[in-house]
Structure 1
Amino acid sequence: MFFDDRLATVLRQRADSDAARRTQFRQLLDILGAEPGGARSARDSSLVANAWMRLGALAETIPAPVRARMIAEPGWRFRNPQLAAHLADCEPEVAASALTRAQLSPSDWATLIPRLPVRARGFLRLRRDLPAQTVALLDRLGVRDLGLPSPALAGNMVPGGNEDGVAPLDDSESGDAESVDEDEDAGAEADADHADDPDAPFILTQEAGREEPHVAPEPPHRPGQPRDRNLESRSEISALVERIARFRRDREHAGEREASEPRLPLGEDTERNRTISAFGFSADAAGRIEWADAEVAAMVIGTRLVAPARLGSASPQTPLERAFARRQPIDGETRMLAGAEAIAGSWIVTAQPRFTHEGNFTGYVGRFRRPVDAGANSPSASEREADRIRQLLHELRTPVTAVQGYAEVIQQQLFGPAPHEYRALAAAIAADAARILSGFEELDRLARLETGMIALEEGETDLAALVARIVSQLSQVLGPRMAGIVFESPPENAALVALDEEGAEALLWRLLATLGGGCASGEMIDAAIETGSGEARLVCDLPAQLLAEEDLFTAEARPVANAINAGLFGAGFSLRLARAEARSAGGALVREGERITLMLPLSARGDQGDRPQDFHAGES
């Protein structure tokens, strides 16, 4: 960074809202707090002065508890003694957060502490990470903890005592207890009894160089003597603070005992059943792991990424070894780890090489992760292929739809008049785009049906009546060429199939239109319906155009007449789509010699009156 303009950028921002003011306050804290006291700032003095003024103005609009929480956040560096002195003059909660959060050098502390307000110096006694010189300075300045010394250790506060004005306890006043040194157990039991008293005042005693909270008994209340309300309130607060401190101390001691005391093998399961799915690591130039995440450090440190190279070894290198030898990035290579159950097995390694400024190789830093389990829920090869086809169709639909839209705009003259010739061309383009989109729909439908993503809805449809209607529609186009499908079903003979009418009509239209479109001039084919064994069968003759095809479902034959077009990709694709729809409905579409048979399951009502039927309208 050649020019540090962060401070100027922050000051240029307008803080109109409450969120903007809080954001700018955080930014100023981060920038001003990052400058150590010993280094001279390279910023413009007027810019820095403006920053301090803006910081004070923002402090007047942001509540003190909110500023205290911002200062206590661990995400910024606090190394500026000037900022610490500025915040120490603010509200008590802000001063406490600042003096608890500041990380200054001993010389900065020595300069700052005499300038601090008296009430702010006491907050420093709550810290346990101050340098030794700073602690000594606090002691010389008389900054003590907010508590009274223990009577058992410091003596009674009476006039005429020792040099400190404190007289030791007299033997006659001590009762049966000779001294604290002679009976430490008795003193500990007395402290425990005092700690259980909720009305005891909170004091601090120093024992073996460690400050721990203790309580002292409250003097008994004499009849007729008024109670001190302030003392009572302080006693309740002190008792609460003592209970919290005792709870934390007992919890820490329990954790230390659990970590230090060994456990006997009594049959319990002491191994943590945890699954490690990934961890970070760094390796040295020899490929030996020298650092890893804390939970796996003891299990993997010292493990080599690759086996050490040996002279004369002719074994082929793995991709991991080859990348390591060439100092190249390791991208998703497999590595087996042996050892504890938590790390044993196959891993995927991704790492980047590290180099010094002089270009010397120093090792790798990266991450181990478990390979993805290719279980039963993973997609099959056909499903992956179908998904790729759907994605391709999605990409192709966008330009075709755009072309169709612009063609319709020109044909309908939405943006102004256009010549008739252009309108005719635009209409043809729009029609071709519509045919292409319909072909895309068929491809997408076939992919979804073959992978089982969609299925035809169940219902009840009269197969005979539906076939008769479609044949009648086709005869109007095929009749002038003396071609068509011969089918006739009496009304009293119905075949109710378990398929909704919309899906059945699309299936039968695709099948019959493909067969009818393949009929040459003067060619008639027969169609019949048979019922039995819980299914209805539509048997149709194949036209001469399709009889020569070895595989009927891959035929590329086009319809003889342009008036009938069952699909964009030929007869084979249309029959394959019809077969997928029939399978989705619980039936089938098969070729039997010179005929093709569509089988569909009968509905519950149609299956009750099931009896073999064979309907023919005539002979060709």
Structure 2
Amino acid sequence: MFFDDRLATVLRQRAAGEGSLRTQYRQLLDLLGRDRAPDPGGDQSLLAAAWLRLDALAQAIPAASRARMIREPGWRFRNPDLAEHLADQEPEVASAALSRADLSVDDWSALIPRMPVRARGFLRLRRDLPVDVEALLSRLGVHDRGLPAPGALADRASEAAPVSGVPTPLRVMTGESREAQPAAPAGQSRDDAGRSEISALVERIAQFRRTRTENGVEHDSSPRLPLGELPERPARNAASFGFATDTTGRIVWAAPDVAPMVIGVRLFGAQAGLGTDADGAVLARAFARRQPITHGEIALAGAPAITGDWIIDAEPRFSEDGHFTGYAGRFRRAPDPHAAASSASPAAREADRIRQLLHELRTPVTAVQGYAEVIQQQLFGPAPHEYRALAAGIAADAARILAGFEELDRLARLETGAIRTSPGETDLVAILRRTTAQLNAALGTQDAGLAIDIAADVELIVGLDTEETEALVWRVLASLAAAVVPGEKVVVGVDPLIGREGAFARLHCQLPGRLAGPDNLFAATIRGADSTISPGLFGAGFALRLARAEARAAGGSLRRDKDVLLLTLPLLGGNKLARGPVGT
């Protein structure tokens, strides 16, 4: 490997769903967070595209989710450019990034003066910075936040009432503040001065409590002293929490709200509380083989907040030199099977079973693909060219299978209403012209293709996201193109359709002879074996069924009218309609 091509590989991936957006964001964090950004082989535009993609993903992923990914246990980054980039984002993201940055003294010294003033304050929350960096922060006036020394509190006791009912937070007096505290004035003993300071502090606490009660936030989750004047808050059961284990399977880190209840619990072994013997064997085998754990069942006992059945998802972690360091993952409450069965419709339950089956099938296929790529790229040593060729074919087949799984999962979600298409503004005619040009380039050797007849000045703007519109149009036209025979031409046109239900763009396509024959077009099994264009793993009928579900989710339709396939999508206002005929 003469240069690092991982960045280009990540940027080539199309991130459409929520999960893929988060995955690509995490991959870019890993690649851009190294000592220096990966070498794109001299192509600096690729590195610039990575930063732009990182910003685009930040717009689509909530700040709280990005902060959680950055704060993931055991993850650090060493690139000062990434620290500077994230420090200018939302406070929670900036705080998480600056708590995970592992920079040298020279990098910190060059970075801190360029950081926003707000972001500099987050560095004061760290206790592992070099001495030179802390001295630099002090010179720039970045200090711990808090009240002045208690002596000043006593002098301003009359000003203790908060402005607009918002109390000022209290500060624990440090040894440094005690040394800076002025001595008691003449004529006043040290005991009297201490009592006056304590009185002022007690008054501040009382005012703080009164304000909280008036604002109706008395029973929050903030810690408080057990003074006995307030009723105990009822214990709340934890719904989910993150965790990390050591090499023996014992929890060594957990989310703060459950950490005292679960740290020290051994998840894998004789002492673990597993739901059934079968579940215990599966988890123990996965732990022994250092394999990912997906949808594992486990029971926890102890404090009421964590007692019960849980679902665990975890990934093994390894050090830079390849040594196993433990697992990191997340617990979530196991759903009540009786409640789920009574609340879900039969179609939703069937779709859920399909998604679970696909999830189980993806794991071995992904493993096969990964091992094939290892052989093909010779990551673990030289391999014969014949083996590399076979591995490349296996990796390609695995990729096609995974793409088919994605289509099955998307169809199940769309038909049960679990997901919706994303709204937007897209020029349907421009996408139609571009797609037909790509397909005709592949069909030109057969003297076949798609004949499109659209006026030059027409513009039809549909209310659907550009990427989803392009995928939908490609799915429809590729299904038709894969079914054409040599010498066959398929006519494609588009026109506006105005009716009582609203304004639509209608794409009408003549069906090829191979698709016009079956009575049920959406059950056709034509796969285009002799064509360079494939409608998908499951044939043209399934591809059109998926396109129909996408069109319905967008507020349109896909139907057959004799030998014509009609796709309608809702229009947005302000479309420039051609004066002459728009299509055939």
User: Structure 2 length as normaliser, TM-score?
Assistant: 0.40
TM-score after normalising by structure 1: 0.38
Larger CA Rg, structure 1 vs 2: 1
